[in-house]
Amino acid sequence: MYNRVLLKLSGEALKGANAYGIDPKTVNEIAKEITEIKDLGVEIAIVVGAGNLWRGKTGEELGMDRAQADYMGMLGTIMNALALQDALEAAGTATRVMTALPIAAVAEPYIRRRALRHLSKGRVIILAGGTGSPYFSTDTAAALRGAELDVNAILMAKNGVEGVYDKDPRKFSDALLLERLSHTRILEERLEVMDSTAASLCRENNIDILVFNMNKPGNMKKAVLKEKIGTVVTTEV
């Protein structure tokens, strides 16, 4: 079993069947699964995206400055983090939201030593605001925080996707699920797991990535227990 993990949640995972926004029922279900693995004694950090509230592509279509659009995305991750915190605490799990952008009225600033202290106290920490800088994705934020907090693995919880395929399964019926591959292959073949900056960080810091479908109940627990599920990305194959 992994002892300390970083769970990367896409913003789309929080919208449920809706076109956008936050679906309370979906968030509550996610919170229950996180609480279940927390009760196993696993230390959990979470990085959440904002694709359900704001996408950089929308900013591009509006002709916005890239940095401005990215800052809006960071604010979206904070909204998602607060919603997830509320659901987790309703489920009985002590939680702290920590942000890369200072927003003292609703969350703590991200300080590495304080984050480690929260984990040692058995609290789930939700790391919002990305890296705090534009031009970096929440995937990169997850890889960076994973390295800083010395996690055993990054759990990439995908919305309806079983793992990593050799080609797009939505376009090719003969696409094969890859059970195990290296960070280097992700970079060389540009497989859609995470962006190249994030993949490079994971390779340099020897952090395993487990990509799995979070829409199936119990998959999060299986991932933590290292059961055969999804795709494992590792330095050694």
Q: Which residues are annotated binding-site positions for ATP?
A: 8-11, 51, 55, 159, 165, 168
**Do residues 88 and 35 lie in contact, with contact meaning Cβ atoms separated by under 8 Å?**
yes
**Do residues 231 and 192 lie in contact, with contact meaning Cβ atoms separated by under 8 Å?**
no
Measured CA distances, 53 to 13, 73, 80, 134 (Å): 11, 8, 9, 17
Measured CA distances, 158 to 120, 212, 213 (Å): 27, 6, 5
Tokens of 184: 């280097």
Which residue matches tokens 């990535």? Answer: 209
Where is the binding site for UMP, in residues?
A: 70, 131-138
**Do residues 144 and 133 lie in contact, with contact meaning Cβ atoms separated by under 8 Å?**
no
Measured CA distances, 65 to 38, 58, 79, 135 (Å): 40, 11, 22, 11
Nearest to 2 by CA among 144, 140, 154, 142: 154
**Do residues 24 and 30 lie in contact, with contact meaning Cβ atoms separated by under 8 Å?**
no
**Do residues 23 and 63 lie in contact, with contact meaning Cβ atoms separated by under 8 Å?**
no
Where is the binding site, in residues?
A: 8-11, 51, 55, 70, 131-138, 159, 165, 168
